[in-house]
């Protein structure tokens, strides 16, 4: 996780430095994002960008479909796991299939994929705050018979991360309200 976050951080910094240096401050389409790579990749721009997008999709689709299946089956008390054969976890595998087909169906819509990625990230960030707070409350609370023995520094870091996420959401709302 630390390695992937480090890579993501340096991609963001490098992209921002490259785009800003060439006067590109707003990207609305995948084509514009690919074109922004031209100063670095030259004629291989679109091949490089396509490989990156396809690779990301090949990594993301199974993870997202699987996590959706785990969440739904856990919520409804169904049996489900990638370790079980399909005959013993029909609901689980049906959800994996439906999530994969649903994602594929989005490609046939007029929804802008860049906007979809942006708003998905915004929604995930906003929804993460109450989930993180609830998780931290459960692991920090001595009530309810849950006995989780975490070191104090882990709880402090957890609450700090929750506070930082909440601050990020507040700043997002504030910047959206005052933006011209």
Cβ-contact 22, 39 below 8 angstroms: yes
* The token pair that represents 9 in the structure block: 């951080």
What per-residue confidence (pLDDT) applies to 3? 78
What per-residue confidence (pLDDT) applies to 164? 96
What per-residue confidence (pLDDT) applies to 147? 62
What per-residue confidence (pLDDT) applies to 145? 60
- pTM, two decimal places: 0.60
What per-residue confidence (pLDDT) applies to 104? 85
Query: In whole angstroms, what separates CA 43 from the centre of its chain?
Result: 30
Cα 126 from Cα 129, distance rounded (Å): 6
- Ranges in the chain, pLDDT < 50: none
What per-residue confidence (pLDDT) applies to 153? 92
What per-residue confidence (pLDDT) applies to 180? 64
Q: Is 107 helix (H, G, I), strand (E, B) or coil?
A: coil
What per-residue confidence (pLDDT) applies to 133? 95
* The token pair that represents 39 in the structure block: 């100063």
DSSP characters for 53-111?
Answer: HHHHHHHHHHHHHHHHHHHHHHHTT----TTS-GGG-HHHHHHHHHHHHHHHHHTTSS-
């Amino acid at each position: 996780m630390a390695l992937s976050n480090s890579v993501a951080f340096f991609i963001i910094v490098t992209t921002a430095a490259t785009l800003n240096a060439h006067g590109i401050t707003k990207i609305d389409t995948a084509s514009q994002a690919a074109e922004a790579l031209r100063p670095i990749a030259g004629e291989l721009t679109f091949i490089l960008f396509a490989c990156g997008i396809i690779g990301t999709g090949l990594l993301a689709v199974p993870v997202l479909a699987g996590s959706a299946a785990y969440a739904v089956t856990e919520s409804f008390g169904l049996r489900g796991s990638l370790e079980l054969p399909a005959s013993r976890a029909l609901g689980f595998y049906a959800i994996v299939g439906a999530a994969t087909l649903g994602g594929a169906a989005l490609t046939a819509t007029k929804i802008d994929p860049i906007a979809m990625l942006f708003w998905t990230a915004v929604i995930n960030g906003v929804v993460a705050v109450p989930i993180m707070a609830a998780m931290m409350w459960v692991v920090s609370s001595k009530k309810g018979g849950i006995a989780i023995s975490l070191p104090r520094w882990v709880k402090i870091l957890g609450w700090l991360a929750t506070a930082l996420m909440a601050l990020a959401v507040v700043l997002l709302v504030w910047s959206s309200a005052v933006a011209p």
